[in-house]
Structure 1
Amino acid sequence: MSKDNPNWERETITELAWEGLREKRRARRWSIFFKLLMFLYLIAVLFAFSDWPKTDALPGKSHTALIKVKGIIADGADASAEQINALLRKAFSSHNTKGVVLEINSPGGAPVQAASIYQEIRRLRKKHKDIPLYAVVSDLCASGGYYVAAAADKIYAAKASIVGSIGVRMDSFGVTRLADKLGIESRTITAGENKALLDPFRPENPEQRAHLQNMLDQVHQLFISDVKAGRGDRLKTDAPGLFSGLIWTGEEAKRLGLIDDFGDTDFVAREVIGEKTVVEYEGKKDLLEQLTSDFGGVAGEMMKKFSAALFDKTPLPR
Structure 2
Amino acid sequence: KAKYNKPLYAVVEESCASAAYYIAAGADEIFVDKASIVGSIGVLMDGFGFTGVMDKLGVERRLLTAGENKGFLDPFSPMSAQQKEFAKEMLEQIHLQFIGVVKAGRGDKLKETPEMFSGLFWTGQQAVELGLADKLGSLDYVAREVVKAEEVIDYTRRDNVAERLVKKFGASIGAGSVQAVRGLVPAIH
Query: Which of residues 113, 128, 151 in structure 1 aligns to 2:4?
Result: 128
Query: Which of residues 242, 246, 254 in structure 1 aligns to 2:128?
Result: 254
| Aligned-residue offset at 1:267 | 0.9
CA distance in 2, matches of 1:269, 1:196: 49
Q: Does 1:229 align with 2:117?
A: no
Higher helix share: 1
**What root-mean-square deviation, in Å, do the aligned CA atoms of Structure 1 and Structure 2 show?**
2.0
CA distance in 1, matches of 2:137, 2:33: 6
Q: Does 1:201 align with 2:66?
A: no
| Aligned-residue offset at 1:266 | 1.0
| Aligned-residue offset at 1:144 | 0.8
Q: Does 1:165 align with 2:40?
A: yes
Structure 1's unaligned 5+ residue stretches are 1-123, 283-289, 301-318
CA distance in 1, matches of 2:98, 2:47: 22
- CA deviation map 1:142-191 (0-9, x unaligned): 11111111111100011100001111111122111111111111121233
| Aligned-residue offset at 1:192 | 2.5
- CA deviation map 1:255-282 (0-9, x unaligned): 1100001010111122222224213457
Q: Does 1:241 align with 2:106?
A: no
* Closer/same/farther in 2, CA of residues 294 and 176 from structure 1, 3 Å limit: closer
User: How many residues of Structure 1 are paired with residues of Structure 2 in the alignment?
Assistant: 164
CA distance in 2, matches of 1:275, 1:190: 57
| 1:278 alignment counterpart | 152
* Closer/same/farther in 2, CA of residues 242 and 276 from structure 1, 3 Å limit: farther
Q: Report % sequence identity.
A: 54
CA distance in 2, matches of 1:280, 1:216: 38
The answer to whether the Cα contact below 8 Å between 1:156 and 1:261 also exists between their aligned partners in 2 is yes
CA distance in 2, matches of 1:216, 1:147: 15
Corresponding letter in the other structure for 2:129: R
CA distance in 2, matches of 1:276, 1:227: 32
Corresponding letter in the other structure for 1:264: S
Structure 2's unaligned 5+ residue stretches are 166-189
Corresponding letter in the other structure for 1:279: I
After TM superposition, list the pairs within 5 Å mapping 1:94-243 onto structure 2: 124=1, 126-129=2-5, 131-237=6-112, 239-243=113-117
Which is greater in Rg? Answer: 1
Q: TM-score, normalised by structure 1?
A: 0.48
CA distance in 2, matches of 1:276, 1:142: 31
CA distance in 2, matches of 1:264, 1:246: 23
| Aligned-residue offset at 1:296 | 2.3
| Aligned-residue offset at 1:127 | 2.6
Runs of at least 4 residues of structure 1 off by over 6 A? none
The answer to whether the Cα contact below 8 Å between 1:169 and 1:216 also exists between their aligned partners in 2 is yes
Q: Does 1:266 align with 2:157?
A: no
